[in-house]
Chain A
Amino acid sequence: MITLNHYVALSALLFCIGLLGALGKRNAIAILMGIELMLNAVNINLVAFNRFLQPSQVVGQVFALFIILVAAAEVAVGLALVINIYRRRLDTNIEDLNWLKW
């Protein structure tokens, strides 16, 4: 029997993988992928809580749809930025992109 705890554990695991990727990867594209993983972990959480706690309502699912939408937009913008940076610098290594520094 798969319970709510299983889903939450899966979600937490997925979130940690995503976080690790977002914080640790050097490649900008990989970081974006990490962020996507984190967003999807949240989605799993929302849908699972909806299913197990309030099955009669669809609030969690609606939120999940919103997040998918926002994630799509975010990826579009993020990829556009990365591609532009690559065209200028022939490099997507995040460690070299430190122009925000003093």
Chain B
Amino acid sequence: MANLYWIPKAWLIPLLPALAFPFIAFITRKARGLSALTAILAIGVSLVISLGVLWEVIAHGITMDNPVEYSTVWLQIPQLLKIEAGLLIDPLSAVMLLVVTLVAFLVEIYSIGYMEDDPGFSVFFAYLSLFGASMLGLVLANNYFMIYFFWELVGLCSYLLIGFWYHRAEAARAGFKAFVVNRLADFGFLLGFFFLFIIFHTFNFRELAAAIPAYHNVGLLTVAALLVFTGPIGKSAQFPLHVWLPDAMEGPTPVSALIHAATMVAAGVYLLARAYVLFASLPNVMLVVAYVGGFTAIFAATIAIAQRDIKRILAYSTISQLGYMVMAMGVGSMTAGIFHLTTHAFFKALLFLAAGSVIHALHEQDIFRMGGLYKDMKVTTVTFIIGALALAGIPPFAGFWSKDEILAAAYHNGFLGLYILGTLVAFLTAFYMFRLIFITFFGERRAGLHGHESPPVMTIPLGILALLSIFAGFVGTPFTARGFSTFVYYAAPHEVEPDYMVMALSTLVALAGIALAWWLYGRPSDLPERLKESYRWAYNLLWNKFYIDEFYLWIYRRIFWGLAEAFHWHDRHVVDGLWDGVGDVTRASGQKLRYLQTGNLQTYALVFFTAVVVIALWMAGMGGMIR
């Protein structure tokens, strides 16, 4: 380990964007170009170091069981508490570092074009830098305390960036909603790792990994694991806390791409991978994780087929794909989950940025008011279709390999139900993506909207992400020798066997989805409208997102307000009554007693002196008695 060059410099990766944030906020704020340059330079150098780290992890045989850890004690109370600050570098964090820095780098370049006319240009880059720093810190953390610290910081950045256009009421409300929902989940996570600390007296991941298998109080551990799992439920937008992510689309589109598609929402999946020892030792919790993920995947996919807003469709797609990843974790394939996280980061960032390119040109988000855009926006159209093919799981695009690995894992680990469900989701995914494409990019031009291609500063990141969406999957195909599955794994590395049945079925299903989308939306037809009329109730259910928001609102208005009313009454009449009574007694006695105060200093002095005499006499008497 003596000749490592890049890995000992890994602490610079989060530090550089962290320094860029105050630098932009305080120094270059007025100079827009300089602000963007600072942010991009910082994340660019981080990207280079991340590449170096990944290269050294591979070259020096650093494996999941044999990671590099740098740690220093941050706070210590002997025998009670020890909080470390440290870096844990293993294949998992090395891959995540590359994904985060790469996507962040491309998104920041894209933002130069997208945010061009925005008065908050510099502030936007400052926030992006802060987000980059927090996310990279989260990835590198070697203990729960530190990961929680950065977990909250990315939550803060998310809040700031969702509400970036805070003068719009919806944006401010969406930021607020995201913050509140995440706060709820984070509190569970906090309790969860406090539980772990109480049991094992450490926050450190590796120490916990060593201690957990030897611990046999399954009940207590199950509670801790379920509480830790609430963190990912909130951050990775799993049912029933998924409600914040679609609203988070009020933020600028680059933010949606970076934070709410590629990186931050994947932090929950990353946490599951980091805490995998805990979950893998508890089959019941794994079952919960698997079914929450599977249900979220199909739930969100069905909502996506009825939405009209281009970004909301992508948001529900993100929720659905995150469900896939969580399901992969639950069925016991951490490799497949992280692999899908990686490829999804590339193609979903691509889809969002391409959608951003459309929004930038049209200032319109309703897909039914677009049409025929391929004539004006060739690059955007092509890259969007590449992203959609990757998402739909058409070979040989990246999404195919990772999604296929999840389905194969579900099938081979005995979750037949989840396998069928996952295949159904693949069908729905292909359908809603190509519905979007046929409506938006093909067909007739709608009146009043004229697209134009975005500047190169936006299309070049699209091109790079498109290449990644095509090729990134090849690191993990079943045909790749010593591929992803021997790199990022839990317990023992294993080669994935190609399962042609699973592959063929998922491809067929995806093609069927595309064909159905074409049949309904790819040609002039009134069939969609007729279907909508005859199945009005189903359409309404999907269009209103299964009324989850309304349900939460109902709970809030009826139950919380009712409780609040009751508490209010109790507070007013019982608590206040008691203390008002005390106050009244005090005031009434004061009313009477105040006549003792004459205001005449000499009277006071007389009383004072008399008291001294009385006390002196009394003490003299006491002295006499003692003697």
Question: Using a CB–CB distance below 8 Å, which chain A residues touch chain B?
Answer: 19, 22-24, 31, 94-95, 97-102
Question: How close is B428's CB to chain A, nearest CB, in angstroms?
Answer: 81
Cβ contact within 8 Å between A23 and B609 = yes
Cβ contact within 8 Å between B597 and A102 = yes
Q: Binary interface profile of B, 578-605, with partner A (CB < 8 Å = 1, else 0)?
A: 0000000000000000110111111001
A97 to B606, CA, bound (A): 16
Question: How close is B600's CB to chain A, nearest CB, in angstroms?
Answer: 5
A31 to B609, CA, bound (A): 15
Q: Binary interface profile of B, 597-627, with partner A (CB < 8 Å = 1, else 0)?
A: 1111110011001000000000000000000
Question: How close is A93's CB to chain B, nearest CB, in angstroms?
Answer: 11
Cβ contact within 8 Å between A102 and B602 = no
Contacts of A100 in B (CB 8 A): 597, 599, 601
Cβ contact within 8 Å between B594 and A102 = yes
A22 to B602, CA, bound (A): 7
A31 to B594, CA, bound (A): 25
Cβ contact within 8 Å between A31 and B597 = no
A101 to B500, CA, bound (A): 99
Number of A-B contacts (CB under 8 A): 29
Contacts of B594 in A (CB 8 A): 102
Question: A95 touches which one: B597, B600, B606, B609 (CB < 8 A)?
Answer: B600
Cβ contact within 8 Å between B598 and A97 = no
Q: Which residue of A lies closest to B608 (CB)?
A: A23
Main secondary structure of the interface of B (DSSP, over half): helix
Question: Using a CB–CB distance below 8 Å, which chain B residues touch chain A?
Answer: 594-595, 597-602, 605-606, 609
Cβ contact within 8 Å between A94 and B597 = no
Cβ contact within 8 Å between A22 and B605 = yes
Cβ contact within 8 Å between A23 and B606 = yes
Contacts of A97 in B (CB 8 A): 601
A24 to B605, CA, bound (A): 10
Cβ contact within 8 Å between B602 and A23 = yes
Contacts of B599 in A (CB 8 A): 98-102
Contacts of A101 in B (CB 8 A): 597-600
A44 to B499, CA, bound (A): 112
Ranked nearest first, the 6 interchain pairs of A and B with the lowest CB-CB distance are A101-B599, A98-B599, A102-B594, A100-B599, A23-B606, A23-B602
A24 to B609, CA, bound (A): 13
Contacts of B597 in A (CB 8 A): 100-102
Cβ contact within 8 Å between A31 and B595 = no
Contacts of A95 in B (CB 8 A): 600
A38 to B598, CA, bound (A): 24
Q: Check A94/B595 contact, CB under 8 A, given A19-B609, A23-B606, A23-B609.
A: no
Cβ contact within 8 Å between A98 and B605 = no
A-B contact pairs, 29 of them (CB 8 A): A19-B609, A22-B602, A22-B605, A23-B602, A23-B605, A23-B606, A23-B609, A24-B602, A31-B602, A94-B600, A94-B601, A94-B602, A95-B600, A97-B601, A98-B598, A98-B599, A98-B600, A99-B599, A100-B597, A100-B599, A100-B601, A101-B597, A101-B598, A101-B599, A101-B600, A102-B594, A102-B595, A102-B597, A102-B599
